[in-house]
Structure 1
Amino acid sequence: MAELVLDPDIRLWVFLPIVFITLLFGIIRHYVSMLLHVDPKPGVEEIKDGQALLRTKHLRENGGYIPKQSFLMRRHFFNDEETGYFKTETRSVKTPLNAMDPSMAMTMVKGTLTNVLPMIVLGGWISWVFSGFIITKVPFPLTLRFKGMLQRGVQLTTLNASWVSSMSWYFLNVFGLRSVYSLILGQDNAADHTHKMAEQMSNPVLSGKQDTNKIFKEQSEALQVTKHHDLLANASEEMLRLQLPLIQDPRQVTSANKKTQ
């Protein structure tokens, strides 16, 4: 079978325009998403709970750097059966049925308008304008299983599977320009379709809210079994040991030992 020879004008009028249009559309979608994005403001309870969990973590990890009495006072504040924070503070858990609120619904609508709908519109326009073009070829042989992925819109059974159609080239650009978007717009950009599709799949309505009471119980149990180990008990001896190589006169060593005693 004779090898296909592409018209050089296809590179200028089909291949490169699809790349530029996809890249420009992603940049525009990023800035539109930034204009429509509104950061949710946490409530007072969320801030209090977050600070309490952060203090508990620091107490468990760095409790050895404070006196034992101070450690026990802080643990009493969190774990006391009558007045402890983790024992008296209770939070209502939202079920998936009542987790929907107007702000969450508006966020979902904005996500659909800025991610799903533009992708459908641009894909339909490219399919209408550049339909039926063979624009490039991958530099290695492929099996027939790849024809459906690389030759969308071109129904030629005798065509080599290594050739790429215009529609398949568009989809390759949609998922292949992630590094370019990260270079131009930064890591956390709204032009990355894979990131946005993952957010759409993990629906916050179905996942519901975290059970804060369960987290309080786990942190309380972890703090209760934490023992205090004084990490500064031998601090003076360690400091003296580090200073000994710097002391040249033996009389200074004797005087330093007397001070520590």
Structure 2
Amino acid sequence: MAEILLDPAIRLWVIIPIVLISLMFGLVRHYVTILLKSEKPVQLDNLKDSQALIRSRLLRENAGYIPEQSFLMRRHYFNNSETGYFKQERPSAPNALSAMGDPSMALDMMKSTFTNVLPMIAIGGWINWTFSGFLATKVPFPLTYRFKAMLQRGVELKSLSASWVSSMSWYFLNVFGLRSIYSLILGSDNSADQGKQMAMQMNMQQSAMGGGKQQPSQMFKPEWEALQVVTHTDHLNRIEDELIRGARLPLTDTKRKKAL
């Protein structure tokens, strides 16, 4: 097969414009999401449960640095079979019907669709109509045949090497590949990342169907079991003798040189 040569003008009229369009689209989506975002009040029970899980994990990891009696008292507070925090009865999570009937959940899903799905379909359709049907660039290393479906959308040529990238595929690569640029410009907690927005929308749909929120008993059971099997090992046993002995040791030549 003869070697394919691309017009140098493609760099200025296709590659760079698609990059700028994808970047500006993410920035606009970030600020529109901020404008449409509604602040939800934090539920006190959920905050207490999350903090209890963090305290229990810290207790397991640092049990050897507190006295044994203090460790047993804290574990009794969490794991007592009758009055333990992890054994207390709590209201169950709302079922699927009540979640689907929640107006705030439906409003959040509509906002996510408005700021994420619809603009992507509109801009993707415009780019497909404007730039579709030709190659934009080439990957500087060989790829297998399986990459053709991802890198050559709109260009159906079986004899074409998989290293070539079509203009439409270049747009999708920019949409999902500008995460580091968004983090550099907007910070790590931004709404411009397309992949993160799609994951959040899927989580909202799962929550609406009753499958995205765990029951409190299911959430506490693994932590209760992990804390129950922890044995106290005193890491500070005879620490005073170790400190005194370390202070009395003569300095070696290496330590003396470092001290000087």
Query: Shorter-chain TM-score: which interval?
Result: 0.7 to 0.9
Alpha-carbon deviations, 1:215-261, whole Å to 9, x = none? 334434443443333443312212211221269xxxxxxxxxxxxxx
What does residue 65 of structure 1 align with?
65
What does residue 27 of structure 1 align with?
27
Cα 1:58–1:150 change in 2 (3 A) is: closer
3-state DSSP of counterpart to 2:98: coil
Which deviates more, 217-226 or 110-119?
217-226
Which deviates more, 9-18 or 216-225?
216-225
Which deviates more, 153-162 or 37-46?
153-162
Cα 1:63–1:22 change in 2 (3 A) is: closer
3-state DSSP of counterpart to 2:96: coil
Cα 1:93–1:146 change in 2 (3 A) is: closer
In the TM superposition, residue 141 of structure 1 has moved relative to its aligned partner by 6.0
Alpha-carbon deviations, 1:4-49, whole Å to 9, x = none? 5544444333332222212211221122223333454331111222
Of the three residues 193, 197, 207, the one matched with 1:204 is: 207
Matches within 5 A, 1:3-82: 5-38=5-38, 40-82=40-82
Q: Retained in 2: the 8 A contact 1:146–1:161?
A: yes
Q: Which letter maps to 1:176?
A: G
3-state DSSP of counterpart to 1:99: helix
In the alignment, structure 2 segments of 5+ residues that lack a partner are: 252-260
TM-score, with length taken from structure 2:
0.75
Of the three residues 221, 232, 235, the one matched with 1:228 is: 232
Q: Retained in 2: the 8 A contact 1:95–1:209?
A: no
Q: Which letter maps to 1:205?
A: A
Q: How many aligned positions are there? A: 247
Alpha-carbon deviations, 1:162-215, whole Å to 9, x = none? 554332332232233333333333333322222222333443334232121233
In the TM superposition, residue 121 of structure 1 has moved relative to its aligned partner by 0.5
TM-score, with length taken from structure 1:
0.75
CA RMSD of aligned residues (A): 3.3
Q: Retained in 2: the 8 A contact 1:99–1:208?
A: no
Larger Rg computed on CA atoms: 1
In the alignment, structure 1 segments of 5+ residues that lack a partner are: 248-261
In the TM superposition, residue 110 of structure 1 has moved relative to its aligned partner by 1.8
Cα 1:209–1:156 change in 2 (3 A) is: closer
Report percent identity of matched pairs.
61
Cα 1:89–1:10 change in 2 (3 A) is: same
